[in-house]
Amino acid sequence: MYTITEPDSLSLSETITDVSCTGNNDGQILINIVGGTFPYSLVWSTDTAQTDTLCSNLVAGDYTLTLTDGLGCVKSKTYTVLDGVIACG
């Protein structure tokens, strides 16, 4: 008799740091991955090639993460980094 163990379903949680001042590029998105099967491949929709769970140096805007796990399961999610509420400088 064989037992097949399925991994937990792939899910994401995030911590978003909004831009500190209008026009700055100090926003960031930190992702926590739960479930799925290692290794994970992450691709962010940024101008620079960011492939880690921390996407940093962001201006205000929308950013999409496409995550693929070791079994080929794909999860995509779009996050919004807000602009600073004050003008600095």
Q: What residues make up the domain containing 19?
A: 11-81
Q: Is residue 59 part of a domain?
A: yes
Q: Is residue 48 part of a domain?
A: yes
Is residue 70 pLDDT above 80, yes or no?
A: yes
Return d(Cα 50, Cα 46) in angstroms, integer. Answer: 7
pLDDT at 11: 93
pLDDT at 49: 78
pLDDT at 79: 98
Total of domains in the chain: 1
* 13-69 pLDDT tens trace: 999 999 999 889 999 999 999 999 999 999 999 877 788 999 999 999 999 999 999
Q: Is residue 89 part of a domain?
A: no
Q: Is residue 3 part of a domain?
A: no
Q: Is residue 86 part of a domain?
A: no
Instruction: State the CATH number of the domain containing residue 66.
Output: 2.60.40.10
